[in-house]
A = this chain, B = another copy of it.
Amino acid sequence: MNSPLDRGGHVGRESFWTSDPYDLLKAGDDFTLADQATDAHSGFDGGKHDGAAALAEGASILADLQERLFAAGTVGDQRRVLLVLQAMDTAGKGGIVSHVVGAVNPGGVRYKGFKKPTKEELSHDFLWRVERELPAAGQIGVFDRSHYEDVLIGRVRELAPAAEIERRYGAINDFESQLVDDGTSIVKVMLHLGKDEQKSRLADRLDRPDKHWKYNPGDVDERLLWDSYQDAYQTVFERTSTEHAPWFVVPADRKWYARLAVQHLLIRALEELDLGWPPADYDVDVERKRLAAS
């Protein structure tokens, strides 16, 4: 790419956005999922190659901010970040974890992939297993699927009574509100994939023996319920895209764009914490002398 400044502007510390994906992708009032393009690259005026270069620029920024968050945690700052990833199969959650989260020090990351609940998990409230996996102070937590499964597959597959599903939206809002009060910045992302693009990606997995392990016949079962899932997501946005923890719907047909957008949402969340470097809680000159004598 040319200098990113040729076409973009400064949004936060990155140089390449034409406008802020935070505003463009946020699910606000009157948001309608069905109206959202899945192949857009909102806020970025370039293609795949430019996107890769931009991702590398953003990776350095994100790594620096993450180190500041971690440093703050070592001196008692209670703040932390939680990235929640939801999507239909093949939308690219794994790629986000690998290419976006993978750019920061693993020592400051707490990753949790949520699977089908175990018997023990099912014997507790749906938030029980989630509360056990929250990031500690100074960490970036990553939920690869989350408590939202309980109002997505839970709703589509009627895994709980309708009244219980209804109750969960409010319980989620209360839970997240408490997390925010306690110092967690929550970044909720739905990777919005096109139905045709999913078909192509699933076909690719079937065509490649090195990808067979990633394919599961259940993926097609869920695909057959596509419209029900889109409806369930729409309800999630209406009920849980709150002031304190809004949802972002990221077009995901272009993997490079989805990565860049999620990277930006993390960068922005970290920038809002206005993180400096913790000052010395010791006398620097005294320590210089002790070190010199050692």
Contact = CB atoms under 8 A, between A and B. Distances in A.
Interface string A168-211: 00000000000000000000000000000001001100100111
Given A102-B103, A106-B109, A220-B291, 13 more contacts: A101-B106, A106-B106, A107-B113, A199-B291, A206-B287, A211-B277, A212-B279, A213-B277, A217-B287, A217-B290, A220-B287, A223-B291, A224-B294
Interface string A245-289: 000000000000000000000000000000001111010100110
A280 B105 contact: no
Contact of A282 (B71, B74, B203, B215): B215
Contacts of A71: 213-214
A199 B203 CA distance: 57
Interface in A136-170: 142, 144
Contacts of A280: 209, 212-213, 215
A75 interface: yes
Nearest to A109: B106
A22 interface: no
Contacts of A127: none
8 contacts: A102-B105, A106-B142, A107-B144, A209-B280, A210-B277, A212-B280, A213-B280, A216-B282
A98 interface: yes
Interface string A102-139: 11111101010100000000000000000000000000
Interface string A77-96: 00000000000000000100
Nearest to A95: B105
A282 B287 CA distance: 64
A211 to B, nearest CB: 8
A11 interface: no
Given A107-B144, A280-B215, A288 B206 contact: yes
A291 B202 contact: yes
A102 to B, nearest CB: 6
Contact of A75 (B213, B279, B284): B213
A36 to B, nearest CB: 22
B105 A98 contact: yes
A97 interface: yes
A277 B106 contact: no
A112 B294 CA distance: 31
A88 to B, nearest CB: 12
A65 to B, nearest CB: 13
Contacts of A142: 106
Nearest to A103: B102
A294 B97 CA distance: 28
